[in-house]
């Protein structure tokens, strides 16, 4: 079993300042939902308390910056601004839509100031926020609504248009963000001061508890239908200090190893948040990491992620860290005008979604020397917490995803559930306070992966060697395209409905920037004429665009063994290297 080793690697004085009694990152062992786990002793009791604390510690610091074509088009909100607005929105949620503690409130939209504030409002009165995937089609959104039954759904015009005509969208009010904010009572200047805003926020739901549910985030599974992972306040509250501690400890250990003196940051933390609010990579920084550290989150204008825009914003706002997936980092460091941008405040890069390849590390070190680089391993069900690597550890073992995060435990088990010896491959399990409560309205799926002992069986396979975790596969069939998980069975189920296809299979093929792309191998029915474009349009009509096969290959039959099992390895051997 792996636990975080870095506390023991720190010199005694540094360890005492960080982890000792009364220190900011003091760790202790407590029972969490009946299981003893490592937790922060000085943690906030719930998410509204995290934002209230930020109002006091960073009263004038920008929290959210939503940019436009020019500086004059940006919308900037401080921590106190967001808290005060959330209180006003919460009043509308209660009075107009009857939202109360435990109700589900749906959200579907691109990242926006309205979306962020409405999230804070809903969770602060004890509601469970439902992050409907903004890339989903109408049928996929219908599934999310049927599963979670929100009392009201808020969104932007573009996404709400996909709900038109769906029976599931008539079971509750469907409201534009613009209309929600038009209904706000006039602002009281006295209530917008940091102290007043923090107090009013904490008064919205005084009975909130650590393990009350706060968010449903959708995660695909091997059944092909997205499942709703239910996260408690505790899980997201833990995200901020866990990330801050591992970053601080990694930096100190690297500096000590290099013989350099620790230096205080030259400027407050600023990052560009590209992760959507319906994803853990979006709400983790939004709801806990930024308010915990005082970080400013800068958002690009709506639209497809663009490396040029990312570099422009980095220079314009003095961004200190980049967070993303390897695909994005590669496009940034290989940008033809990288040298033209002022990146002097950029101190580090970090993220997840896929391993950082040794070649990418080499390119970053060459073109962005002196920056810290970090990575890790986690998933929606663990609020992104699991394993962590960076600095010297990452460069010494680039194929590893590192050690356990400060509050996580990792183990690798065999088919019988027992831990396997070091070096042997097995299923990776994660346990910690950032774990989910289960899948919404799906006891069977929950029982299959979450034990009474708190261990979450990830379905990913790996091995532990020399105290480090190595991934062997992220499920056998999982496709990771630009950091997005794609399960082939969902696409295969859609292809099975095509009237002119007799059989179909989906695999991943290598792509330099995205990591992988989707390839479909299809068998037309006798006498039918089907084109690759026909197949792609058929999938696009029901599934999100990132799930549409980039490549379509035709075959007379698919390979099966004597028991009728599809031999995907044969397909990969034939097609994967030559898409």
What's the rounded mean pLDDT across residues 137-155? 96
Helix (H) or strand (E) holding 85: helix 79-97
Burial of 32-41, coded b for 16+ CB within 10 Å and e otherwise, reads beebebbbbe
Pairing of the two strands 174-176 and 128-131: unpaired
d(CA 334, CA 313): 17
* pLDDT of 136 over the 60 cut: yes
Mean pLDDT across 74-92 = 97
Q: For the segment 30-63, what is each residue's pLDDT rounded down to a tens digit?
A: 999 999 999 999 999 999 999 999 999 999 999 9
**Per-residue pLDDT at 299 exceeds 80:** yes
User: Which pLDDT score is estimated for 562?
Assistant: 53
H or E segment to which residue 76 belongs: strand 75-78
The predicted pLDDT at position 351 comes to 80
pLDDT at 222: 47
* DSSP H or E segment with residue 323: strand 321-324
Give the separation between CA 205 and CA 402, rounded to whole angstroms.
39
Higher pLDDT, 180 or 576: 180
Provide mean pLDDT across the span 417-429: 95
Nearest Cα to Cα of residue 168 among 132, 139, 133: 139
| Sheet order of strands, 372-377 included | 75-78, 62-66, 296-299, 270-272, 321-324, 348-351, 372-377, 387-390, 403-404
Q: Which tokens hold the place of 557?
A: 């039959």
The fraction of the chain above a pLDDT of 90, given in percent, is 75
Mean pLDDT on 336-341: 96
> What is the Cα–Cα distance from 455 to 530, expressed in whole angstroms?
47
Quickly state the pLDDT bin for 367 (edges 50, 70, 90): very high
Domain range list for the chain: 479-576
Lookup result for tokens 């663009």: 306
**Mean of the per-residue pLDDT values for the chain?**
92
pLDDT surpassing 70 at residue 264: no
CA distances from 543 to 124, 136, 154, 218, 336 (A): 33, 6, 21, 15, 34
Percentage of the chain lying above the pLDDT 70 cut: 95
Handedness of CA 430, 432, 438, 443 (dihedral sign): positive
pLDDT band at 445 (very low <50, low <70, confident <90, very high): very high
* Distance from the Cα of residue 457 to its chain's centroid: 18
pLDDT level of residue 553 (50, 70, 90 thresholds): very high
pLDDT band (50, 70, 90) for residue 260: confident
- pLDDT the model gives residue 431: 98
pTM over 0.85: yes
For residues 411 and 455, the answer to whether their CB atoms sit within 8 Å is: yes
* pLDDT reported for residue 153: 98
The residue-averaged pLDDT of 163-173 equals: 94
What mean pLDDT is predicted for residues 291-313? 94
Tokens of 318: 């003095």
* Region 246-262 average pLDDT: 81
C-alpha separations of 447 from 144, 434, 455 in Å: 21, 18, 11
374-386 tens-digit pLDDT: 988 999 999 999 9
Report the alpha-carbon distance of residue 166 to residue 475 in Å, rounded: 33
Topology, domain 479-576: GMP Synthetase; Chain A, domain 3 (3.30.300)
Q: By mean pLDDT, which of 16-25, 81-90, 156-165, 326-335 is the weakest?
A: 326-335
- List the structure tokens of 205: 């739901």
- The encoded tokens of residue 251 equal 């930096």
Crossing angle, helix 79-97 and helix 47-57, to 10 degrees? 140
Long-range Cβ contacts of 66-69 (<8 Å, 24+ apart): 66/111, 66/112, 66/113, 66/299, 67/298, 67/299, 67/300, 67/301, 67/313, 68/301, 69/301
């Amino acid at each position: 079993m792996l636990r975080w080793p870095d506390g023991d690697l720190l010199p005694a004085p540094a360890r005492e300042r960080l982890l000792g009694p009364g220190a900011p990152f003091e760790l202790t062992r407590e029972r969490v939902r009946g299981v003893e786990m490592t937790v922060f002793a000085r943690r906030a009791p719930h998410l509204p308390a995290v934002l209230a604390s930020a109002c006091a510690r960073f009263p004038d610091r920008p929290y959210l910056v939503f940019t436009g074509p020019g500086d004059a088009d940006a919308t900037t909100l401080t921590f106190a601004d967001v808290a005060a607005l959330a209180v006003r929105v919460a009043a509308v949620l209660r009075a107009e839509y009857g939202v109360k503690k435990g109700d589900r409130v749906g959200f579907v939209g691109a990242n926006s100031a309205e979306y962020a504030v409405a999230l804070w409002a809903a969770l602060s009165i004890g509601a469970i926020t439902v992050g409907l995937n903004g890339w989903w089609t109408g049928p996929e959104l219908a599934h999310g609504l049927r599963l979670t039954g929100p009392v009201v759904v808020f969104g932007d015009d573009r996404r709400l248009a996909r709900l038109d005509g769906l029976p599931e969208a008539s079971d509750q009010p469907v409201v534009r963000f613009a209309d929600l904010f038009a209904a706000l009572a006039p602002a009281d200047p006295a209530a917008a001061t940091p102290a007043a805003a923090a107090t009013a926020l904490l008064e919205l739901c005084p009975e909130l508890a650590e393990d009350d549910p706060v968010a449903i985030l959708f995660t695909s599974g091997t059944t092909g239908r997205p499942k709703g992972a239910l996260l408690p306040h505790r899980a997201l509250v833990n995200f901020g200090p866990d990330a801050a501690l591992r970053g601080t400890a990694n930096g100190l250990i690297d500096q000590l190893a290099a013989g350099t003196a620790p230096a205080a940051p030259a400027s407050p933390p600023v990052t560009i948040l590209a992760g959507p609010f319906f994803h853990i990579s979006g709400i983790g920084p939004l709801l806990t990491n930024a308010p915990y550290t005082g970080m400013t989150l800068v958002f690009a204008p709506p639209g497809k992620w663009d490396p040029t825009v990312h570099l422009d914003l980095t220079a314009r706002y003095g961004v200190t860290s980049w967070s993303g997936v390897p695909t994005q980092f590669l496009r940034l460091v290989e940008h033809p005008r990288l040298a033209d941008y002022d990146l002097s405040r950029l101190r580090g890069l970090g993220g997840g979604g896929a391993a950082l390849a040794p070649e990418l590390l080499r390119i970053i070190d060459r073109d962005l020397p002196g920056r810290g680089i970090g990575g890790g391993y986690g998933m929606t069900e663990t609020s992104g917490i699991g394993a962590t690597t960076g600095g010297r550890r990452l460069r010494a073992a680039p194929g590893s995803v590192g050690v356990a995060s400060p509050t996580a435990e990792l183990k690798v088990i065999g088919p019988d559930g027992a831990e396997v010896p070091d070096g042997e491959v097995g299923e990776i399990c994660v346990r910690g306070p950032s774990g989910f409560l289960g899948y919404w309205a799906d006891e069977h799926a929950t029982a299959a992966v979450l034990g009474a002992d708190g261990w979450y069986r990830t379905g990913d396979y790996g091995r532990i060697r020399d105290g480090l975790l190595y991934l062997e596969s992220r499920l056998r069939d999982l496709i990771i395209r630009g950091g997005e998980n794609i399960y082939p069975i969902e696409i295969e189920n859609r292809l099975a409905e095509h009237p002119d296809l007799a059989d179909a299979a989906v695999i991943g093929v290598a792509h330099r920037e995205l990591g992988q792309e989707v390839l479909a191998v299809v068998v037309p029915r006798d006498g039918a004429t089907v084109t690759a474009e026909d197949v792609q349009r058929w999938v696009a009509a029901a599934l999100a665009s990132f799930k549409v096969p980039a490549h379509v290959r035709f075959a007379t039959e698919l390979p099966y063994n004597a028991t009728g099992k599809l031999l995907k390895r044969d397909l990969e051997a034939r097609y994967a290297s030559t898409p």
